[in-house]
Amino acid sequence: MKNRKEIERLVLLRNSGELDDHKRIEIDERIASDPEVARLCSEMEEMKGLVRIKDEEALVPDKAIETIMHAARRRSRQRRTGVVGYSFSWRPAIYSAAAALLLLSTSLLFWQKLAPQAPSSNYAMLNLNWNSKIDEQLSELDQLVTSTLLEYSEEIDSQRDLNSLAREIINLEEAQI
Amino acid sequence: MDDAAGKLLERYKQGDTDALGELVELYRRPLYGFILRMTEGDGAADDIFQDVWLRAIRKIGSFRRGSFLSWLFRIAHNLVIDRARRAGRIVLLDGGEDARTDGMPEDRIADTAPDPSDSAANRDIGDRIKCAVGHLPPEQREVFLMRFEADLTFREIAGIQGTSINTALARMQYALEKMRSELGPIYYEEVNDHEKQKRD
């Protein structure tokens, strides 16, 4: 303990009960033997006594106390009836998230395994059959149309030939006349 | 937490509202004294005291261990700063040795105490000390009051202010130094007389 500042610091710590035993004994001895340190210590105690607010100064208005007590009663009633604000806690949130994840992965696994037998897949198969049947009919219709068109075009061609033959005959007859 | 407060708190948690009333009464003087001195001349002490308890009631479930008084002071500390911030009382005080914290909301709590030299002769030591406390920079005033008004330890004070124990101790020492220089030798004569009277 070299200077006044250091002594004052130790006295402050001693008074607030934060010195270890060794230091406390040391400062107590110093207080007992050194009038200057003893004076410092008593000065602080004296100031503390004078600073403290007197009871008559610390009069809190009744209205403020009533408001506090009203809030306390309301809160206490809420707590008893269970109607109290939800307080967030991590543990249930983590458990819920883990359960949801497990459920999701299990469902995914089942869906992958059972997908072909699922009613929805039968429906898809039915759709597929229908589609292929329609395709077949369409191609048959297409062939029919094409062949009919060909026949017609042959007929037209032959008709055209007959027409030109008839015209030639008429032309020859006119020339003979 | 001292036993009495612990028991009252437990009773309140179990639904005994009267226990909270007793708790308010138990801590009324240090808590109200602290708020009153931190908001001197502001007229806000009643509201802040009420708000401290309302917030404490709301958050009481989150209080686990340690000193309940220190917990209340932490709430009070935040409310005093919030109030100063909302009121926009931007009165930057002399940072002095603690200039590191300049610009923080704590520094904006105005110095509203009357001049200690004003009709000093008509006032007793108590009034002059009260006046000198009002002239301390807020962060030093806070440490001084928490220590002397509420007997909080420096560890608790450091926790509330979010600083180290050494900073809290240094603030206390600066506060004492300023008090000594502001009160002057007359104060010490009176204190010595007071002590002598007590010894006799």
CATH code of B16's domain = 1.10.1740.10
The stretch B16-37 carries a mean pLDDT of: 93
The pLDDT assigned to B41 comes to 66
For residue B120, what are the contacts with CB-CB under 8 A and spacing of at least 6? B128
Q: Distance from B91 to chain A by nearest Cα, in Å?
A: 25
**Which tops the pLDDT comparison, B52 or B3?**
B52
pLDDT of B109: 58
- Judge if B151 and B80 occupy the same domain: no
A68–B24: do the CB atoms touch at under 8 Å?
yes
Where among B64, B87, B110 does a domain terminate? B87
pLDDT in tens, B135-156: 999 999 999 999 999 999 999 9
Residue B99 lies in a domain: no
Q: What is the pLDDT confidence band of residue B47, given thresholds at 50, 70 and 90?
A: very high
What is the dihedral angle through the alpha carbons of B151, B156, B157, B163, rounded to the nearest 10 degrees? Answer: 160
Contact (Cβ atoms closer than 8 angstroms) between residue B109 and residue B87: no
In a domain, B152, yes or no: yes
- Tokens 């009324």 correspond to B28
Which of A19-28, B58-67, B162-171, B179-188 is predicted least confidently? B179-188
Same domain as B7, residue B83: yes
- Residue A52 phi, psi (nearest 5): -55, 135
| Averaged pLDDT of chain B | 80
Angle between helices B138-148 and B154-161 (to 10 degrees): 140
**pLDDT at residue B89 above 60?**
no
B124 and B81 within one domain? no
* pTM for the model: 0.64
**Cβ atoms of residues B45 and B32 within 8 Å:** yes
Whether B175 maps to a domain, the answer reads yes
CATH of the domain at B165: 1.10.10.10
A-B Cβ pairs (cutoff 8 Å, strict)? 107
Number of domains in chain B: 2
**Which ranges of chain B would DSSP assign to H, the alpha helix?**
3-13, 17-38, 45-59, 68-87, 125-134, 138-148, 154-161, 165-199
Q: Rounded CA gap, B179 and B173, in Å?
A: 10
Range of the structural domain that residue B32 is part of = 3-87
Q: B113 — alpha (psi -120 to 50), left (phi > 0) or beta?
A: beta
Specify whether B82 is located in the same domain as B127: no
- Looking at residue B98, its pLDDT comes to 42
Q: Do B12 and A72 lie within an 8 Å CB cutoff?
A: yes
Please tell me which residue, A115 or B176, carries the higher pLDDT value.
Answer: B176
Is B189 part of any domain? yes
Q: Is the pLDDT of residue B194 over 70?
A: no
Is residue B108 situated within a structural domain? Answer: no
What is the rounded CA–CA span in Å between residue B107 and residue B101?
Answer: 7
Same-domain pairing of B142 and B82:
no
**pLDDT score, position A94:** 84
Q: Which of B39, B63, B87 is the last residue of a domain?
A: B87
Is-contact B179 B136, C-beta < 8 A? yes
Domain end: B65, B87, B109, which one? B87
Cα–Cα distances (Å) from A34 to A22, A31, A40, A58, in that order, read 18, 5, 10, 38
CB atoms within 10 A of CB A41: 21
CB nearest to B36's CB, from A17, A53, A79: A53
Rounded to the nearest 10 degrees, how much is the dihedral formed by the CA atoms of B33, B38, B43, B48?
Answer: -70
Longest dimension (CA), chain A: 171
- B170 pLDDT more than 90: yes
pLDDT above 90 as % of chain B: 45
Q: Are residues B188 and B135 in the same domain?
A: yes
Same-domain check for residues B140 and B192: yes
Q: Closest partner residue to B50 among A44, A58, A68, by Cβ? A: A68
pLDDT per residue of chain A (177 residues) written in tens, 0 to 9: 457 888 888 889 988 888 888 888 988 888 888 888 888 888 888 888 888 888 888 889 999 999 999 999 988 777 656 554 555 567 788 888 989 998 998 888 888 777 655 555 566 666 777 778 888 888 888 888 888 888 888 888 888 888 888 888 888 888 877
Q: Do B76 and B142 share a domain, yes or no?
A: no
Does residue B128 sit in the same domain as residue B81? no
Q: Considering only residues B110 and A138, tell me which one the structure prediction assigns the higher pLDDT.
A: A138
Which residue among A42, A52, A72 sits closest to B57, beta carbon to beta carbon?
Answer: A72
Residue B66 near residue B25, CB atoms below 8 Å: no
Q: Verify whether the Cβ–Cβ distance A71 to B155 is below 8 Å.
A: no
For residues A148 and A155, what is the distance between their CA atoms, to the nearest angstrom?
Answer: 11
Residues B124 and B77 in one domain: no
Residues B147 and B75 in one domain: no
Residue B104 placed within a domain:
no
Q: What is the pLDDT of residue A156?
A: 85
Q: Average pLDDT for residues B163-191, to the nearest whole number? A: 85
Distance (Å) from the alpha carbon of A119 to chain B's nearest alpha carbon = 54
Contact B125 A87 (CB under 8 A): no
Instruction: Give chain B positions within 8 Å (CB) of A79.
Output: 15
B188 pLDDT higher than 70: no
Confidence (pLDDT) at B105: 52
Minimum Cα–Cα distance from B152: chain A residue: A16
Place of tokens 């409310």: B79
B110 falls within a domain: no
pLDDT at B102 over 70: no
Closest CA–CA distance from residue B137 to any residue of chain A (Å): 16
- Examine the pLDDT at B171 and tell me if it is beyond 90: yes
Residue B137 counted as domain residue: yes
Q: Residues B80, B38: one domain?
A: yes
Quote the pLDDT of residue B100.
39
Written as six digits, the tokens of A17 are 């009960």
Q: Which chain A residue shows the shortest CA-CA distance from B24?
A: A65
As a whole number of angstroms, the distance between CA A57 and CA B91 comes to 27
* pLDDT of B104 higher than 70: no
